[in-house]
């Protein structure tokens, strides 16, 4: 059966072109999926005519009116696979730190989490929180080089993968973190539909840090180079297409 999908891909400080192309490639592996691409959540009419949404954004949020439309769509059975910075808001302070203010509470409550900070990019371990769940069955703990997302939960979620962090995130206003586990991959039910969130997936090219700097010296592909991440993306798209329960 044909599945109509909306891919929302846009934002700052990431190689959105790369992520968009890679996600479209994975979507294209499913012959039944037909995808339309947007840069924000304004086209609620298109979403209402679709059964699934995928998002890869940074500092792009829905308005309260758009949140209401997305919530209604989810309640009617829609499935949203959100990646990486979908739950992020970034503001820079006068001293150069990054603030992540709670400026879109309805949007973050719908998603189930709000990004707060991450330590410097380095390799870290991802653990399996619910090994019996079909979305992570057969996946062993693995390591990635990525932004280790630290977030505040805004609603009940079912955690599938998580990570441990204790320490400081000096580049962020929210900088002190006592030791605890943070979700990496989780499910959130909304009516007859729901949200699957994967915090991994950072990527960045030479020209993606403007206006902070004109040239970034490295090309970062992070988790995109890891087979475990690619498998999670495939499973997430399959879930959004209707494979398995919420």
Q: Determine the pLDDT at residue 246.
A: 83
The fold adopted by the segment(s) 3-240 is Rossmann fold (3.40.50)
Find the largest Cα–Cα distance for the chain: 54
Q: Determine the pLDDT at residue 173.
A: 98
Tell me the backbone φ, ψ of residue 71, rounded to 5 degrees: -65, -45
| Bond before 211 cis per omega within 30 degrees | yes
Tokens of 212: 């902070």
In the chain, domain spans = 3-240
pLDDT in tens for each of the 246 residues of the chain? 999 999 999 999 999 999 999 999 999 999 999 999 999 999 999 999 999 999 999 999 999 999 999 999 999 999 999 999 999 999 999 999 999 999 999 999 999 999 999 999 999 999 999 999 999 999 999 999 999 999 999 999 999 999 999 999 999 999 999 999 999 999 999 999 999 999 999 999 999 999 999 999 999 999 999 999 999 999 999 999 999 888
pTM for the model stands at 0.98
Tokens of 211: 């206006």
Q: Determine the pLDDT at residue 245.
A: 85
Contact in structure between 112 and 197 (CB atoms under 8 Å): yes
3-state SS, residue 67: helix
Angle between helices 227-240 and 16-28 (to 10 degrees): 60
Contact in structure between 158 and 195 (CB atoms under 8 Å): no
The closest of 195, 237, 183, 246 to 71, measured between CA atoms, is 195
């Amino acid at each position: 059966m044909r599945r109509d999908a909306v891919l929302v891909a846009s934002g700052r400080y990431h190689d959105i072109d790369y992520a968009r192309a890679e996600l479209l490639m994975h979507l294209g592996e499913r012959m039944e999926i037909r995808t339309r691409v947007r840069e924000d959540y304004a086209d609620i009419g298109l979403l209402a005519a679709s059964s699934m949404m995928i998002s890869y954004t940074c500092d792009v949020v829905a308005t309260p009116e758009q949140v209401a439309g997305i919530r209604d769509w989810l309640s009617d059975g829609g499935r949203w696979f959100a990646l990486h910075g979908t739950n992020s808001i970034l503001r820079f302070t006068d001293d150069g730190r990054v603030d992540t203010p709670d400026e879109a509470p309805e949007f973050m409550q719908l998603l189930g989490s709000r990004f707060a900070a991450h330590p410097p990019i380095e390799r870290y371990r991802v653990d399996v929180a619910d090994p019996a769940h079909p979305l992570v069955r057969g996946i062993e703990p693995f390591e990635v080089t990525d932004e280790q997302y630290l977030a505040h939960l805004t609603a009940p979620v079912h955690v599938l993968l998580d990570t441990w962090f204790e320490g400081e995130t000096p580049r962020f206003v929210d900088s002190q973190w006592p030791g605890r586990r943070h979700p990496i991959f989780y499910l959130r039910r909304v009516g007859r539909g729901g949200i699957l969130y994967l915090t991994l997936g950072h990527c960045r090219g030479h020209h993606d840090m403007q206006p902070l700097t004109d040239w970034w010296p490295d090309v970062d592909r992070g988790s995109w180079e890891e087979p475990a991440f690619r498998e999670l993306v495939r499973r997430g798209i399959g879930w959004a297409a209707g494979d398995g329960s919420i």
